[in-house]
């Protein structure tokens, strides 16, 4: 039984890795492509499990939105690395930490630290901090809840600026390159292996259980090409193009776009 699925991802074999928020149990659960349980781990390690991604080597990375701690595991659940981001502005808040992670060449990772802070941070393969950029606001390179991050086929970083209702993109040195504004809340960004761009949008002032859409966006123009009506707190895309929205409920949803 899943409780509050926060993020879902998949490995090259099609196994599903789910991070959820159980009252009592393991927050990381692995299923085979048919949905059969394989393994789980992580009980007692998280305050608010938030993000989960798999790097090109098959390692599993997770983020805690309360403690702002990043864990790197093997696919079997052995911890390889722990990065304590720190600089948490208000430790009395539940959500005040990091949200998502993206993988660049050379083992470098980019982290969206977006609930209380408003920044993107780059780390090397050992967890050493290299640079950061961003601040609160609604201008270029400014953020209001940095909720998701992904590297596009052009090598640029695409950032979901949630409460500003937009996506911004940067080069890997943090130079602002552009933005598309959609209004409402812009929750998450993800790219397929063939370079297709998907995101999740939601109007402000409306229940999170309604009017949530996963949208396909033309990378050349920002135009919305199509949509699925489904809640997606975070989003990943399998090697076969299957969309993996995190519903924040107990239901695991897989979507297959039409060719």
- Taking the C-alpha atoms of residue 243 and residue 65, their distance in angstroms, rounded to an integer, is 23
Owner of token pair 């052995």: 78
How much is the pLDDT for 171?
98
Global pTM reads 0.96
Q: What is the mean pLDDT of residues 22-26?
A: 95
pLDDT (tens digit, 9 = 90+) per residue, 91-141?
999 999 999 999 999 999 999 999 999 999 999 999 999 999 999 999 999
Q: How confident is the model at residue 209 (pLDDT cuts 50, 70, 90)?
A: confident
Identify whether 253 is part of a domain. no
Q: What is the mean pLDDT of residues 221-239?
A: 96
Q: How confident is the model at residue 167 (pLDDT cuts 50, 70, 90)?
A: very high
Residue 251 CA, chain-centre distance (Å), reads 18
Identify whether 133 is part of a domain. yes
- Taking the C-alpha atoms of residue 221 and residue 125, their distance in angstroms, rounded to an integer, is 34
Q: What is the mean pLDDT of residues 179-193?
A: 97
Q: How confident is the model at residue 227 (pLDDT cuts 50, 70, 90)?
A: very high
How much is the pLDDT for 210?
85
What contacts 121, CB < 8 A, 6 or more positions away? 85, 110, 111, 113, 129, 131, 132
Identify whether 45 is part of a domain. yes
| Closest to 110 in 3D by CA, of 96, 97, 125, 95 | 125
Identify whether 1 is part of a domain. no
Reduced to 3 states, what is the DSSP secondary structure of residue 162? helix
First to last CA, the chain: 32
Identify whether 258 is part of a domain. no
In the predicted model, is pLDDT for residue 259 greater than 90? no
Query: What separation in angstroms does the CA of 218 have from each of 131, 196, 212?
Result: 30, 8, 19
Identify the CATH number of the domain in which residue 152 sits: 2.120.10.30
Domain count, the chain: 1
Identify whether 234 is part of a domain. yes
- Taking the C-alpha atoms of residue 30 and residue 10, their distance in angstroms, rounded to an integer, is 9
How much is the pLDDT for 213?
96
Identify whether 95 is part of a domain. yes
Q: What is the mean pLDDT of residues 38-62?
A: 98
- Taking the C-alpha atoms of residue 106 and residue 6, their distance in angstroms, rounded to an integer, is 28
Q: How confident is the model at residue 208 (pLDDT cuts 50, 70, 90)?
A: confident
- Taking the C-alpha atoms of residue 82 and residue 197, their distance in angstroms, rounded to an integer, is 30
Q: What is the mean pLDDT of residues 219-227?
A: 96
- Taking the C-alpha atoms of residue 237 and residue 215, their distance in angstroms, rounded to an integer, is 13
- Taking the C-alpha atoms of residue 44 and residue 143, their distance in angstroms, rounded to an integer, is 31
Identify whether 117 is part of a domain. yes
In the predicted model, is pLDDT for residue 257 greater than 90? no
Decide: 111 and 100 in contact? Cβ < 8 Å: yes
Which residues form the domain of 98? 7-245
Q: How confident is the model at residue 249 (pLDDT cuts 50, 70, 90)?
A: very high
């Amino acid at each position: 039984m899943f409780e509050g699925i926060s993020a879902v991802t998949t490995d090259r074999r099609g196994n599903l890795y789910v991070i959820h928020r159980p009252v009592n149990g393991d927050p990381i659960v692995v299923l085979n492509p048919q949905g059969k349980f394989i393994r789980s781990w992580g009980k007692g390690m998280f305050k608010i499990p938030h993000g989960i991604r798999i790097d090109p080597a098959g390692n599993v990375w997770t983020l805690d939105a309360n403690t702002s701690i990043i864990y790197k595991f093997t696919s079997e659940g052995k911890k390889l690395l722990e990065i304590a981001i720190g600089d948490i502005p208000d430790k009395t808040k539940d959500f005040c930490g990091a949200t998502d992670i993206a993988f660049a060449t050379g083992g470098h990772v980019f982290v969206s630290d977006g609930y209380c802070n408003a920044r993107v941070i780059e780390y090397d393969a050992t967890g050493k901090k290299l640079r950061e950029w961003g601040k609160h606001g609604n201008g270029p390179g400014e953020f209001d809840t940095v909720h998701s991050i992904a590297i596009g086929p052009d090598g640029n970083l695409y950032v979901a600026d949630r409460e500003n209702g937009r996506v911004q993109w940067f080069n890997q040195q943090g130079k602002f390159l552009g933005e598309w504004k959609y209004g409402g809340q812009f929750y998450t960004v993800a790219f397929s292996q063939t370079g297709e761009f998907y995101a999740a949008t939601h109007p402000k002032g409306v229940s999170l259980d309604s009017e949530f859409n996963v949208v396909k966006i033309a990378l050349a123009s920002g135009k919305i090409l199509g949509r699925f009506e489904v809640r997606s707190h975070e989003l990943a895309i399998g090697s076969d193009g299957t969309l993996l929205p995190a519903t924040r409920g107990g239901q695991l949803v897989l979507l297959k776009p039409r060719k």
